[in-house]
Amino acid sequence: MSARELHAILPLLVLSAGIVVLLLQVSFRRSHLAAAATTLITLVASIYACFQVAAALPPGGGSVAVTGLLLVDHTALFFCLLLLLAAIAVAVLGFNYLKLRCNPQSTTDNYPEEFYILLLLVMLGATTLVFANHFASFFLALELMSLALYPMLGFSVSGDLSPKGEQSNSLEASIKYLLLSALSTALGLFGIALIYGASGALDFGGIAAAVAQLPQGPSLMLAGLALLLIAVAFKLSLVPFHIWTPDVYQGAPTPVTALIATVGKGAVVALLLRFFAHTDLFSIPALTSLLAIAALASMLVGNLLALMQNNIKRLLAYSSIAHIGYLIVAFLIGSSAFGSEAVIYYLVAYVITTLGAFAVVGLIADSALRPAPGGTGPISDAASDTLKDPVHDPFQREFYRGLLWRSPWLACCLAAMLLSLAGIPLTIGFIGKFYIFAAGVQGQLWLLLAAVIIGSALGLFYYLRLLLTMVQRESEATATFGSGVQIAISGHLLLFSLTAALLLFGVFPQILINWINAL
Amino acid sequence: MTLSLTLPAIIAILFAGGLLAWLAERYLDRGSRPIALVSLLLATALLGQYWGHVSGDISAAAGTPWWDSLQLAWIPRFGISFYLAVDGLGFLMLALTLLMGLFGLVVTWKDINFRRGFFYFNYLWTLAGVVGVFTAMDLFLFFFFWEVMLIPMLLLIAVWGYEKRTYAAIKFFIFTQASSLLMLMAIVALVYLHYNNSGQLTFNYRELLSAQLSPAVAYWLMLGFFFAFAVKLPALPLHTWLPDAHTQAPTAGSILLAAILLKTGAYGLLRFTLPLFPEASVAFAPVAMTIGAISVIYGAVLAFAQRDMKRLVAYSSVSHMGFVLLGLYALNTIAIQGAVMQMIAHGLSTAALFALVGALQHRLHTRDMSQLGGLWASLPKLSAVALFFAVASLGLPGLGNFIAEFLVLLGSFGSSRWITVVATVGLVGAALYALLMMQRVFFGEQRRQTTTEGEVLIDLNPRETVALLSLAVALVFLGLRPQLVFDVADPTIAESMVRLEAAGLSLESEESDKKLQTAASSGWPDADHKRGESP
């Protein structure tokens, strides 16, 4: 490896170094605040490294191949940057989440610092995935990401202040994801084996050569690619591989839900885009129609199932299924430059909006769980019993009744996120949807566009119902339940920056378009 | 070239006024109403700068149809610009928007007590969105404002509405949003096809006018636009959101909906659908006219069957807007002039009727006509004003509505006799429901007296009287001197007519059976100058 190659993967090296430092730091001195600080510093340093590498790359769409495994180019760096920024948001959310649930006095059963180690491991996996150019690095990165996610999904168990119900839900989410993820990994691995058998290559370049002379009709190669696609569809929770999504989203700690919804999916989309573009899989009708069917089903099923949800996290889970379906519509014309531009823009919109929505939901839930002043004991099961009452369960729609009057700022943030998800102008989600339409028209995907319209109309119903719940006049129950929702300064800052980005790129999309086109 | 900032200033004042009103109420606990009033007056004053064009002192610069325009690059990636412009039609609509906004504000001055600042925030933002819709000449910008006006309107219904407000609000929003997504698809497809043919990527309205489309594609795209505007209009069978939304909205919201938001649909048809797709529009005209005529009858019949006063007025809107659709698709100058006049006159008369129903509900806490009766004795002023607007709504000669409906029928008779005959029956229906409402509510025995718990009913106060009387004066003026409106709107309509007639002629050469229709319509245009002298 030359120095130039080492420099090209600087963001990955920084992340790895950060993990080691954090491990050592925790073994010497356990401090929640210090661990969070180290994580943030690592992430920021990694972002800085991204810019350094981008500046050093040869101009004009140049790229650096790092051994045969990784390929660093501007697009990958952009994705890397996006994921790292999302990770910062998750770290802030996680800090607020753990601060309330981990008792600093007791030393047993209580390891908030591990959350950050796992977070950095997930980020290492995700960023490696973005740079992957070979099935070995692809598989390694995907597994690193998944393996670190399992304990994170079950992380509620570690906070000794968490209610019992939350702990068991979290464990359930973790086990479900573990089992189903293992299955999909096995399928994907088998697919890779078939592809290797058919082409004798594991790097994307070699596969591209094999795909170019693919015979018409069924073949070993095609079967392998289809199996691989299934593994990816599982990670993206495309219908019909979506069954795990609502349970895992609901059970997991909210910061982890935000992580899996943004970083987990964004990295896979980035990889899919690169894999399809490098190996020119868009020219194989069998694969594109497979994706088209999955997208169609995701838009319709996701939106239909979301209609009946009263739990916000489940609602967002189903809506994220639908949103990945929209994204695939743009993806299907991805062979052109415009297609990848549309995918990237929509992904940015999706990440900002989803992060924002989960941030508001998580911060509100944290404030509802705030133990009695001065109390250090665990939130008793009696307390968690009252949480079953829909008005007091912070994840139920009823809890949000009249939120606009109690906490206008939080409600406005959530409203902006919901409108962005629904694709209403002034928000980034609208420009994203506009890109989907433009891409669909270019590819003449009329059936899929019809599904986008139907899906959006269905989506409006549940987004609006939540929005209108927030503006309902106070009922007596909530009026007595408490006045404003108190959240930490870091939470406010996070929400402010997310909302500002959402509005900025919604009103002046040209800024972001210029960045994307400069890739 | 100097930058003309009048149009963006109007929009900005309304947006800023809305924000200020909200903040003032939140931090000072008062002041939102004066802020709303001042910002509306300021916006109206700015609009008044264009009066010179109306009175004919200033004529538009040669080579451009606009009185004033502003174009800035917005999203160059897609050839989208921030392009605002105003011409005669736009001016009429803007004037209607701002004056009705003022009327709604003044007449419901004391109605809102819950979160007043947020109410006026939504109120002004809706108006700002509508002003944007009426001035945007970039299709993307148009769609942008088209959506921006919806959210505040949704909140107006959902927060300050009556019993079933959430249901009505969601229904309103889903109908309009789903149909406008079809329009977005049509816009994108139109731009894309234009780009493929000419190599020029633009959303600019005037440049898209020259887009070359194959007839089949144009027909589909036209349908995409038509759907969105027909929902807003509303035309049968896409009208079902309207009775709910109008009935459940607070009085000021109903006024906004009826007087202004419905007009955006008609405006869109006239400004975009007809000129952008002239051939397809000519081919589609019989269908659209049939829909219009059926809407006229259907609205009248259902209005007749209502017990809820607000629902009655709402269904009468369906009927009146049916005339607009009929007139627009008659595709000749007279009928389109009539449709424009109907947009204005209906805006005035229906807004006044909603204000009156609101005033009644405020005093009596019911709008159920079976519980009302004989109010003339206790509320003489209110009843007299109501009588005036009821007969205006049924089309009494001498008032604006009569001119409008007469012209629409006159114009469309040349295009399609039988459809016009059917629509004319609607006039009888209008007389029936309007008079029935008067008879049930204001005449007859006093059913309500037993339940008023001895309180004295307060008649219209000076504020309400002045607001309502000014509308009445405006209607009389429109009825006696309609020529002013015709002159202002004429250049816009003439331009559309040129395109439509060219399209009609090209169709005529293909199909000989359309000959009679275009011959008849080309015989009419001289007559409209006499309308100014009608009583």
Q: Does B221 touch chain A (CB under 8 A)?
A: no
pLDDT at A194 over 50: yes
Beta strands in B203-258 (DSSP E): none
Give the pLDDT confidence score for residue A178 in this predicted structure: 93
Q: What does the alpha-carbon distance between residue A8 and residue A329 come to, in Å, rounded to a whole number?
A: 32
Residues of B in contact with A434 (CB under 8 A): 140, 184, 188
Is residue A83 very low, low, confident or very high in pLDDT (cuts 50, 70, 90)?
A: very high
Give the pLDDT confidence score for residue A21 in this predicted structure: 94
Give the pLDDT confidence score for residue A97 in this predicted structure: 87
| Mean pLDDT score, B468-474 | 89
Residues of A in contact with B170 (CB under 8 A): 460-461, 464-465, 468
pLDDT at B534 over 50: no
Which of B159, B166, B177 has its CB closest to that of A460?
Answer: B177
Residues of B in contact with A453 (CB under 8 A): 178, 181-182, 185
Question: Could you tell me if B318 and B302 are in contact, meaning their C-beta atoms sit under 8 angstroms apart?
Answer: yes
Q: Which helix (H) or strand (E) holds B345?
A: helix B333-364
Is residue A392 very low, low, confident or very high in pLDDT (cuts 50, 70, 90)?
A: low
Give the pLDDT confidence score for residue B3 in this predicted structure: 62
Alpha-helical runs (H) found in A30-69? 32-56
Q: What does the alpha-carbon distance between residue A12 and residue A83 come to, in Å, rounded to a whole number?
A: 13
Output Rg (C-alpha) for chain B, integer angstroms: 22
Give the pLDDT confidence score for residue A42 in this predicted structure: 94
Q: Among all residues of chain B, which has the CA nearest to that of A452?
A: B181
Give the pLDDT confidence score for residue A157 in this predicted structure: 79
- When mean pLDDT is compared across A349-353, B62-66, B275-279, the lowest value belongs to B62-66
Residues of B in contact with A468 (CB under 8 A): 154, 158, 166, 169-170
Q: Exposure of A215 by Cβ count < 10 A (0-12 exposed, 13-18 middle, 19+ buried)?
A: exposed
| Mean pLDDT score, A60-68 | 80
Give the pLDDT confidence score for residue B448 in this predicted structure: 56
Could you tell me how far CA A442 lies from the centroid of its own chain? 28
Exposure b/e, B358-381, CB count within 10 A at least 16 = b: bbbbebbeebebeebbbbbebbee
Q: Looking at the DSSP assignment, which residues form a beta bridge with residue A73?
A: A63
Q: State the smallest CA–CA distance between residue B215 and chain A in angstroms.
A: 18
- Angle value at C-alpha A179, between A178 and A184, nearest 5 degrees: 95
Contact B169 A468 (CB under 8 A): yes
Q: State the smallest CA–CA distance between residue B462 and chain A in angstroms.
A: 32
Amino acid in position A335: S
Q: Helix B462-480 crosses helix B333-364 at what angle (to 10 degrees)? A: 160
Q: Of B267, B258, B334, which is closest to residue B299 (Cα–Cα)?
A: B258
| Mean pLDDT score, B403-411 | 88
Which of B76, B181, B188 has its CB closest to that of A438?
Answer: B188
Which of B158, B177, B185 has its CB closest to that of A437?
Answer: B185
Is residue B332 very low, low, confident or very high in pLDDT (cuts 50, 70, 90)?
A: confident
Q: Which helix (H) or strand (E) holds B70?
A: strand B68-75
Residues of B in contact with A509 (CB under 8 A): 75, 77
- Angle value at C-alpha B325, between B324 and B330, nearest 5 degrees: 100
Give the pLDDT confidence score for residue A389 in this predicted structure: 55
pLDDT at B52 over 60: yes
Give the pLDDT confidence score for residue A103 in this predicted structure: 67
Q: Does B203 touch chain A (CB under 8 A)?
A: no
Q: Does B308 touch chain A (CB under 8 A)?
A: no
Chain A neighbours among B 342-401 (CB < 8 Å)?
A: none
Q: State the smallest CA–CA distance between residue B404 and chain A in angstroms.
A: 35
| Mean pLDDT score, B463-479 | 88
pLDDT at A187 over 90: yes
Q: Does A483 touch chain B (CB under 8 A)?
A: no
pLDDT at B57 over 70: no
pLDDT over 70, % of chain B:
90
| Mean pLDDT score, B432-441 | 86
Question: Could you tell me if B317 and B299 are in contact, meaning their C-beta atoms sit under 8 angstroms apart?
Answer: yes
Q: Residues 6 or more apart from A397 whose CB is under 8 A from it?
A: A310, A311, A312, A315, A390, A465, A466, A469
Alpha-helical runs (H) found in B161-214? 165-198, 205-208
Q: State the smallest CA–CA distance between residue B75 and chain A in angstroms.
A: 5
Contact B166 A430 (CB under 8 A): no
pLDDT over 90, % of chain B:
4
Q: Does A509 touch chain B (CB under 8 A)?
A: yes
Residues of B in contact with A513 (CB under 8 A): 75, 77
Question: Could you tell me if A11 and A84 are in contact, meaning their C-beta atoms sit under 8 angstroms apart?
Answer: yes
Q: Of A377, A372, A246, which is closest to residue A301 (Cα–Cα)?
A: A246
CB count in 10 Å sphere of residue A67: 12
pLDDT at B413 over 90: no
| Mean pLDDT score, A177-206 | 90
Of the segments A341-345, A382-386, B497-501, which one has the largest average pLDDT value?
A341-345
DSSP A134: B
Is residue B517 very low, low, confident or very high in pLDDT (cuts 50, 70, 90)?
A: very low
Amino acid in position A163: P
Q: Among all residues of chain A, which has the CA nearest to that of B178?
A: A457
CB count in 10 Å sphere of residue A100: 18
A190 vs B382, more confident: A190
Q: State the smallest CA–CA distance between residue B148 and chain A in angstroms.
A: 6
Is residue B532 very low, low, confident or very high in pLDDT (cuts 50, 70, 90)?
A: very low
CB count in 10 Å sphere of residue B100: 25
Chain B neighbours among A 413-442 (CB < 8 Å)?
A: 419, 424-426, 430, 434, 437-438, 440-442
Q: Does A471 touch chain B (CB under 8 A)?
A: yes
DSSP A214: P
To probe the interface with A, which of B27, B72, B78 has the most A CB atoms within 10 Å?
Answer: B78
Q: Among all residues of chain A, which has the CA nearest to that of B182?
A: A453
Q: Quick one: tokens of B180? A: 């406008």
Q: Of B189, B180, B204, B168, which is closest to residue B82 (Cα–Cα)?
A: B204
3-class secondary-structure state, position B442: helix
Give the pLDDT confidence score for residue B61 in this predicted structure: 56
Q: What does the alpha-carbon distance between residue B301 and residue B321 come to, in Å, rounded to a whole number?
A: 14
Total residue length of chain A: 519
Q: Does A513 touch chain B (CB under 8 A)?
A: yes
Q: What does the alpha-carbon distance between residue B72 and residue B89 come to, in Å, rounded to a whole number?
A: 22
End-to-end Cα separation, chain B, in angstroms: 45
Q: Which residue has the tokens 């269904």?
A: B315
Q: Helix A428-443 crosses helix A312-331 at what angle (to 10 degrees)? A: 40
Give the pLDDT confidence score for residue B447 in this predicted structure: 65
Give the pLDDT confidence score for residue B80 in this predicted structure: 86
Q: Among all residues of chain A, which has the CA nearest to that of B142?
A: A425
Give the pLDDT confidence score for residue B248 in this predicted structure: 87
Is residue A421 very low, low, confident or very high in pLDDT (cuts 50, 70, 90)?
A: very high
Average pLDDT, chain A: 85
What are A474-498's pLDDT values in tens digits? Answer: 654 444 455 567 778 888 899 999 9
Contact A438 B158 (CB under 8 A): no
Amino acid in position A146: S
Average pLDDT, chain B: 82
Which of B75, B158, B159 has its CB closest to that of A510?
Answer: B75
pLDDT at B235 over 70: yes
Give the pLDDT confidence score for residue A131 in this predicted structure: 92
Question: Could you tell me if B302 and B368 are in contact, meaning their C-beta atoms sit under 8 angstroms apart?
Answer: no
Q: Among all residues of chain B, which has the CA nearest to that of A435?
A: B188
| Mean pLDDT score, B53-77 | 73
Q: Residues 6 or more apart from A167 whose CB is under 8 A from it?
A: A156, A157
Q: Among all residues of chain A, which has the CA nearest to that of B145?
A: A425
Contact B76 A405 (CB under 8 A): no
Q: State the smallest CA–CA distance between residue B110 and chain A in angstroms.
A: 19
Q: Of A343, A379, A348, which is closest to residue A101 (Cα–Cα)?
A: A379
Of the segments A94-108, A348-362, A437-451, B400-414, which one has the largest average pLDDT value?
A348-362
Interface contacts (A, B; CB < 8 Å):
77
Q: Of B314, B520, B528, B303, which is closest to residue B432 (Cα–Cα)?
A: B303
Q: What is the ipTM of this complex?
A: 0.85
Q: Which residue has the tokens 């896409």?
A: B238
Which of A430, A437, A513 has its CB closest to that of B188?
Answer: A437
Q: Does B189 touch chain A (CB under 8 A)?
A: yes
Region label for B240, one of left (φ > 0), alpha (ψ between -120 and 50) or beta (otherwise) = alpha
Q: Which residue has the tokens 């009843």?
A: B383
Q: Does A52 touch chain B (CB under 8 A)?
A: no
Residues of A in contact with B228 (CB under 8 A): none
Q: Does A510 touch chain B (CB under 8 A)?
A: yes
Measuring CA to CA, how many Å separate B87 from each of B112, B270, B334?
A: 35, 13, 19
- When mean pLDDT is compared across A104-108, A171-175, B85-89, B476-480, the lowest value belongs to A104-108
Give the pLDDT confidence score for residue B232 in this predicted structure: 87
